[in-house]
Amino acid sequence: MSSKWIAVLVTGVLCFILKYVGHSIPAKWLERPRISRITTLIPIVLLSALVGIQAFTTQTKFTVDHRLSGIIIGAGSVIAKLPFPVTIILAMAASAITYRLKI
């Protein structure tokens, strides 16, 4: 077995242990107001970090390219409270047009 497979198996076991420990935490600890606020914000922060990394980096370098136009149009359509499918289509079209025009 190669070292990569060992790393995958160890990571899988660690993830299982973390998930098990998370389910074993008493409910009264999770019902605290501070913990409740933190746990509701974690997915938002992780998704924002993912979008930032994917949109503004290429390998190890900071770049600004066609993806920025999609983010701007997508954010604008969310602020305008357009339906989700319309938001996705507008962001995708803006990014594609900017990519095609090489702006």
Span 15-68, pLDDT tens digits: 999 999 888 888 888 888 898 898 889 999 999 899 888 888 888 888 888 888
In a domain, 79, yes or no: no
In a domain, 68, yes or no: no
Bridge partners for 33 per DSSP: none
In a domain, 17, yes or no: yes
In a domain, 61, yes or no: no
pLDDT of residue 103: 61
How far lies 103's CA from each of 55, 65, 98, in Å?
15, 8, 6
Longest pairwise C-alpha distance within the chain: 56
In a domain, 36, yes or no: no
Cβ-based neighbours of 73, under 8 Å, separated by 6 or more: 90, 91, 93, 94, 95
The alpha carbon torsion through 50, 55, 87, 37 (nearest 10 deg) reads: 30
Number of domains in the chain: 1
In a domain, 20, yes or no: yes
Domain hosting 1: range is 1-31
In a domain, 101, yes or no: no
